[in-house]
Chains A and B, each alone.
Chain A
Amino acid sequence: MSDYILGIKELDNAIGGIKKGSNIMLIGPPMSGKEVILYYIMYQGVKNDNAIITVTTRESATHILEWFKEHELDMPLSRVGMVDCVTKTFVGTVVESENIKIASSPVDLTGIGVKISQFLEEYFMKKNIRKVQLHINSLSTILMYSNIQTVFRFLHVFTGRIKAMGAMGIYVIESGMHDEQAIATLKQLLDGVIEIKSEDDKNFIRIVGLSTKPTPWFEYEIEGANVRIVGRK
């Protein structure tokens, strides 16, 4: 039995599920729907009673939770934690809540790390939830403000924690934004990659590194909040 799944049946079958402690890069071009894919994975995690932690550097946490609401997907506040690096809290405008913590900026990796750790403690120790998913959306934004060594050190610490506690980590990267060297550096810390590409108005997805050989490219379509495989390349 596998410890974690993506919830996309064809892909899960192709790799036979994901082992606990896995750290995975999700890389794809803009407009390919990778955000929806990430949300889809989050929701599948929730359905499997996992706790979900998402660091967001692109959209505010409230915005993302709204998205789930609009698509009538229930995200229980008790085990969905958001670390919001977008929303600013100035004097007197504190908007932190049970499941939203505000980091002071995408540069503030110390602060982001503290908030992640606090959610991990809450879910793992206080709530005794053993399956936890961490998503960072995206490393690309973090890389805009910090250099690759800095991000490497940050990721080094947290991929280590994910491994030690048997959780799953997914880290989003915008393809075409960073040099090959930077991506290769980060990949050293990761177990596998979910690759997305667009060709002739069609979108494809495959997984490399989580099974003995890469999965085939699957063509997918996004309908609302759903990810549907429509063919193989």
Chain B
Amino acid sequence: MIKTGIPKLDEFLDGGIPKGKSLVYYMQPGVEGEVFGMQTIYSALKDGGNCVLVASSTIPDITRGQFKEFGWDINQFNNKFISVDAYNPLIGAPSKEKYIVSNPDNIEEFSRIIVDIIKQLPPSTIVFGSLSTIMDLCGERKVIEAVRIWNKMAMLYDHVMVYNFTAWPYSQETLDLMKGELFNAVISIGGIVERVIFGQYFEILKSDWTKEIKRSMLFRVLRPGGIKLYIPKILVTGPFDSGKSTFVHALSTRAISVDRLGTTIALDHGHVDYKGFSADIFGTPGQERFDPIIRLLSGESMGVFLVIDSTNPSDFTRAKQMLKITMSYGLPYVIIANKQDLDGALTPEEVREQFDLPEDVPIIPAVAKDKIGVYEAFEVLIDSVTGGI
């Protein structure tokens, strides 16, 4: 078993990747994911293992420099770390590596060298810096067939196979195989996309040696430091007295509010852990004079709950105004039609009409004081936040 070195991931994988297994880091284009393969190499080396890096999109020396940027000194493992150079020949430059693929666009030659390595070396962690580059050069089908063989051989010779793969718009068939049967484990690395990517997460799509687990974690990439998890912020806003503080407390495992005479004057703060996702929740005050606080919090949040009192349509103009502020930050949002227990509460559909909201904006009916609808709303928001892949 080798450890991936990625925080939490080893825990989810019951300790790491067993010998003989393959794992792919399946990356959405534009998301910083190549560090996953590198962090796994460093982790395996640190634990005394042997590692091979197949470099196909840059000079092996540059990759060594990148390790250094993360603060990972790999020189100390010199005799245990081998690079396969499948880049220099591509640009017609000389190579000083022991293993060289002289025609990186020839899958037969590529495969011969990988198979040699699999047969000759003691059990190692073999990491492909960019499988998509190999696919670009050799064609989708041929590379898929080669990967099948490599994975099978690796199983016989007790190696661990790790691939970085950028999910460019290849054929659906290829992408399905990459996410499906080709590997023992698939870790998808995605971005929260709302016009631009503004948060990154990883998620276990598949792992055939652990119990079914569906968890996603948000991360940042630090230099030095590598992958670090972080807890995102979610904003709860809405007009005066609509039930924001009640909503924050209903959703949170723990929460505090800064209130005076029953109205919030600074903010509510709660923390929620639900279905493998954790977040910090911030409730804003409802009164207009506190709008700067909404702006301040919006800049750092990744999603918004807009809580409205369904019995009080006269406040909807104000609610719209608040929504506009947060929308200008491009955040995904969910509308909470609160106080559904009271007489005269408008249904979600009536709210949609009065608000003039498009069909695809989720409106969740809720009774915050009885915790009804709050978890459902959380799930809907998380889905729209992480629905990028």
Which residues of chain A have a CB within 8 Å of any CB of chain B? 88-94, 104-105, 107-111, 113-114, 116-118, 120-121, 124-126, 128, 145-147, 149-150, 153-154, 156-157, 161, 164-166
Contacts and interface: CB of A to CB of B under 8 A. Distances in A.
Given A145-B90, A161-B196, A110 B132 contact: yes
A111 B195 contact: no
A69 B32 CA distance: 32
A44 to B, nearest CB: 23
Nearest 3 A/B pairs, CB to CB: A117-B30, A104-B58, A150-B136
Contacts of B330: 124-125
Interface stretch (B64-72, B231-239, B358-366, B376-384): B64-72
A93 B62 CA distance: 10
13 contacts: A94-B69, A104-B59, A105-B57, A107-B57, A107-B58, A107-B133, A109-B168, A113-B30, A114-B32, A121-B196, A128-B328, A157-B168, A164-B195
Most interface-central of B27, B196, B328, B329 (chain A CB within 10 A) = B196
A125 B196 CA distance: 8
Contacts of B63: 104
B290 interface: no
B65 A108 contact: no
B65 A146 contact: no
Contacts of A105: 57-59, 62, 87, 91
Interface in B2-36: 27, 29-34
B197 A117 contact: yes
B90 A88 contact: no
Contacts of B133: 107-110
Contact of B329 (A107, A118, A128): A128
Contacts of A90: 61-62, 64-65
Contact of B191 (A107, A111, A117, A146): A117
B169 interface: yes
A108 B329 contact: no
Contacts, number: 116
Given A94-B69, A120-B196, A125-B330, A107 B32 contact: no
B58 A114 contact: no
B196 A165 contact: yes
B34 A107 contact: no
Contact of A88 (B30, B62, B168): B62
Interface in B128-178: 130, 132-133, 136-137, 164, 166, 168-170
Contacts of B65: 89-94
B64 A91 contact: yes
Contacts of A161: 30, 195-196
B198 interface: yes
A157 B196 CA distance: 12
Contacts of B299: 126, 128
Interface string B186-209: 000001000111100000000000
A117 B190 CA distance: 12
Interface string B289-324: 000000000010000000000000000000000000
Contacts of A164: 195
A165 B328 CA distance: 12
A110 B191 contact: no
A125 to B, nearest CB: 5
Contacts of B329: 125, 128
B330 to A, nearest CB: 7
Given A110-B166, A124-B330, A165-B195, A157 B61 contact: no
B91 to A, nearest CB: 7
Nearest to B195: A165
A121 B198 contact: yes
Contacts of A128: 299, 328-329
A20 to B, nearest CB: 12
Given A104-B66, A108-B133, A124-B196, 7 more contacts: A105-B57, A105-B58, A107-B57, A110-B132, A111-B58, A114-B34, A146-B136
Contacts of B33: 110, 114
B136 A147 contact: yes
Most interface-central of B27, B195, B328, B330 (chain A CB within 10 A) = B195
B329 to A, nearest CB: 7
A157 B30 contact: yes
A147 B139 CA distance: 10
A145 B249 CA distance: 56
A157 B169 contact: yes
B197 A120 contact: yes
A126 B301 CA distance: 11
Nearest to A93: B65
Contacts of B164: 110
A161 B299 CA distance: 21
Contacts of B137: 146-147
A105 B34 CA distance: 14
A10 to B, nearest CB: 33
A161 B32 CA distance: 16
A104 B168 CA distance: 18
Contact of B34 (A94, A111, A120, A153): A111
Most interface-central of B58, B87, B170 (chain A CB within 10 A) = B58
Given A110-B132, A124-B330, A117 B166 contact: no
